[in-house]
Amino acid sequence: MTYVIALPCVDVKDRACVDECPVDCIYEGERSLYIHPDECVDCGACEPVCPVEAIYYEDDLPEQWSEYYRANVDFFEEIGSPGGAAKTGVLTFDHPLIAALPPQA
């Protein structure tokens, strides 16, 4: 199981969640951040600090954002499991679902 970052993060990228994650499994893309499903230890520390409520436990993901589960998982298809976001830095791509969104206010 894993936590998931949904639509409210897009173009906001507050990054408060990054400082809370004990295993550094929240990776930054161009327009959103993504939680690594295999590296996340389900501690829940990230969820309450997001000011726009973008983070959900996968079973609690609101229905309208259900596809964000796959977006977070598939984001890591090419890069695998780097073992910490500090190792990759900011990544210069997004999942296609997020890349196709119009600019978010």
Binding residues for ligand F3S (CB under 6 A): 3, 5, 9, 12-17, 20-21, 23, 25-26, 33, 35, 40-46, 50, 52, 54-55
The nearer residue to ligand F3S, 14 or 74, going by C-beta atoms, is 14
Name the percent of the chain in helix, strand, coil, to the closest 5: 30, 10, 55
The nearer residue to ligand F3S, 5 or 98, going by C-beta atoms, is 5
Q: How far is the CB of 34 from ligand F3S (least distance, A)?
A: 9
CA distance linking residue 10 with residue 102, whole number of Å: 10
CA distance linking residue 4 with residue 71, whole number of Å: 9
Do 93 and 101 touch, CB atoms closer than 8 A? no
The nearer residue to ligand F3S, 25 or 91, going by C-beta atoms, is 25
Q: How far is the CB of 78 from ligand F3S (least distance, A)?
A: 20
Q: How far is the CB of 103 from ligand F3S (least distance, A)?
A: 15
Tokens of 43: 């501690």
